[in-house]
Amino acid sequence: MTQARPSCALDSERVQQLLLCSREAQKAAYCPYSRFPVGAALLTRDGRIFSGCNVENACYPLGVCAERTAIQKAISEGHKEFRAIAISSNLQDDFISPCGACRQVMREFGTDWAVYMTKPDGTYVVRTVQELLPASFGPEDLQKIQ
């Protein structure tokens, strides 16, 4: 799929690796209620990949999305700078897109990193966090109040 690449976009080989990791993570999803498995693979600034899947709960609000699972795993191991995240699902006709909560959690760690939204056939679109959450609120905004 040809499209304009954001400045934070990855080379083709790295993209394919990230997409594969997100599809693998999707297989571990615990989603007995929605039956909507999602996987994510997060690339840190130093090249490590952390995967995550959605984990649902009978108390619905306590479920966690794949993107946040991957981010929390990375944070828990001391990584706070990210280059990209890939997200996968079984949606056939649409690219999987992060929910609003996941967009805000991504935003916590910057706006200029890539989000690869995929389809099962391997096609994808890539946007920056800034494009997915324009005019966002972030950590630096808390410094504006004296």
Catalytic residues: 67
**Could you give the C-alpha distances from 124 to 1, 21, 109, 116, 131, in angstroms and in order?**
7, 14, 23, 6, 16
CB contact burial 77-99 (16+ within 10 A = b; e otherwise): eebeebbbbbbbbeeeeebbebe
Please state, in angstroms and rounded to a whole number, the distance separating the CA atoms of residues 23 and 51: 10
Residue appearing with tokens 């090249």: 47
Specify the pairing of strand 124-128 against strand 49-53: unpaired
